[in-house]
Amino acid sequence: MSIAADANIAFPHRHLLGIEGLSRDQITALLDLSDEAAKLSRQIAKKRDDLRGRTLINLFFEASTRTQSSFELAGKRLGADVMNMSVGTSSVQKGETLIDTAVTLNAMRPDILVVRHHAAGAVELLSQKVDCSVINAGDGSHEHPTQALLDAVTIRRHKGQIEGLIVAICGDILHSRVARSNILLLNTLGARVRVVAPSTLLASGIERLGVEVYTSMWDGLEDADIVMMLRLQRERMTSSLVPSTREYFHFFGLDYDKLARAKPDALVMHPGPMNRGVEIDSNVADDPQSVIREQVEMGVAVRMAVLQALARHLPNQ
């Protein structure tokens, strides 16, 4: 397939550890591949054989439903053997498990490791200890590159392009790897990125990442093309970051009143899983403006695209 071949040339990396370090062309190549994969996924015959004979291991040190199943489906649609390993966080704390696990798995000669870990930088550390390709499926508050890619594909399918769009990322910026990856990707593709959050949930120095900072949803959503909501973890309530879910919803939850400030054709997005009534009004989440379910569909497509792009660089050739 010619597009895949072009993408291989355009994507010279062995791992996908983050959006940082990817060029505009490399990102665009992945988005193009994702569009192809999305078409394939809507057919009856969804299978390709790019990864036939290859072994993909999902190594999740942190619980995940959609990311893990999405990688599993993507791997299977490309013909790989997929194994899921969920490592409880308790066993991680028992000592040298991360590197030990990496070395152990490496000895089983997998071709691709998809890794999620609760510590920033953990996936990169692991990638230094193995011979196979490593995909970051989320490391602490650092990066979640495939989420940013699937968001970009979804946006592009509706808006045609990313450049020049006003994107408001709203909510728990401080703890969000999704926000970091999206800021990097959207800036690389020329969007105007805003972050909207109470000061307690903004990361120090975030403005240096090239975003406009707002602490009011009404101001931050003004004329936005895209409203990207982030999940608010329940434990933020108990650590004096926000006083209550009802106050948070009042000021930062996306309801029709606040959404009215955005452009009439603005897209509503959410990486999931949603807290309805906390960061997003249930009706808004289900509104025709919402592309949240399409994001999930693009999740599989993007992960297929990433796997195809990395296929050229796999070990055991």
Partner 1 sequence: MMAMQPYPPEQRSRTLALINARLLDPASRLDRPGGLLIRDGMIIDLGPHIAEGVLADAEIVDCGGHLLAPGLIDMMVFTGEPGHEHRETLATASRAAAAGGVTTIVCMPNTDPVIDDVALVDFILRRARDTALVNVHPMAAMTKGLLGEEMSEIGLLRDAGAIAFANGKASVANARVMRNVLAYAKDFGALIVHHLEDPTLSSDGVMNEGEVATRLGLRGIPSAAETIILERDIRLVELSGGRYHAGQISCRASLDIIRTAKLMGLPVTCGVSINHLTLNENDIGPYRTFFKMKPPLRSEDDRRAMVEGVSSGDIDVIVSAHDPRGAEGKRRPFAEAADGAVGLETMLGAALRLYHNGEVELTRLLQALTTNPARLLGLGSGRLAKGAPADLVLIDLDRPWVVEPEALRSKSKNTPFDAARLQGRALLTIVAGRLVYNYADSPGL
Binding site for partner 1 (CB under 8 A): 20, 95-96, 98-99, 117, 119-122, 124-125, 139-143, 177, 180, 203-206, 208-209
Residues 6+ apart with CB under 8 A from 304: 33, 34, 37, 40, 41, 74, 77, 78
In angstroms, what is the minimal distance from the CB of 140 to partner 1?
Answer: 5
Q: Is 163 in contact with 225 (CB distance < 8 Å)?
A: no
In angstroms, what is the minimal distance from the CB of 163 to partner 1?
Answer: 23
Nearer to partner 1, 3 or 203 (CB): 203
In angstroms, what is the minimal distance from the CB of 78 to partner 1?
Answer: 29
Nearer to partner 1, 240 or 244 (CB): 240
Nearer to partner 1, 58 or 127 (CB): 127
Instruction: Give the integer Cα–Cα distance in Å for 167 and 225.
Output: 6
Q: Is 46 in contact with 309 (CB distance < 8 Å)?
A: no
Nearer to partner 1, 170 or 184 (CB): 184
In angstroms, what is the minimal distance from the CB of 204 to partner 1?
Answer: 5
Instruction: Give the integer Cα–Cα distance in Å for 30 and 8.
Output: 9
In angstroms, what is the minimal distance from the CB of 205 to partner 1?
Answer: 3
In angstroms, what is the minimal distance from the CB of 304 to partner 1?
Answer: 26
Q: Is 259 in contact with 150 (CB distance < 8 Å)?
A: no
Q: Which sign, positive or negative, has the C-alpha torsion 3, 156, 13, 117?
A: negative
Residues 6+ apart with CB under 8 A from 132: 106, 109, 110, 111, 112, 113, 314, 315
In angstroms, what is the minimal distance from the CB of 17 to partner 1?
Answer: 9
Instruction: Give the integer Cα–Cα distance in Å for 134 and 154.
Output: 24
Q: Which sign, positive or negative, has the C-alpha torsion 148, 150, 60, 197?
A: positive
Nearer to partner 1, 235 or 265 (CB): 235
Nearer to partner 1, 142 or 231 (CB): 142
**Sheet containing 212-214: order of strands:** 212-214, 192-196, 166-170, 226-229, 267-269
Nearer to partner 1, 4 or 98 (CB): 98
Nearer to partner 1, 125 or 296 (CB): 125
Instruction: Calculate the alpha carbon distances from 157 to 29, 152, 154, 162 in Å.
Output: 15, 9, 5, 10
Distance of CA 12 to the CA centre of its chain: 20
Instruction: Calculate the alpha carbon distances from 122 to 25, 143, 147, 180, 188 in Å.
Output: 27, 11, 18, 16, 24
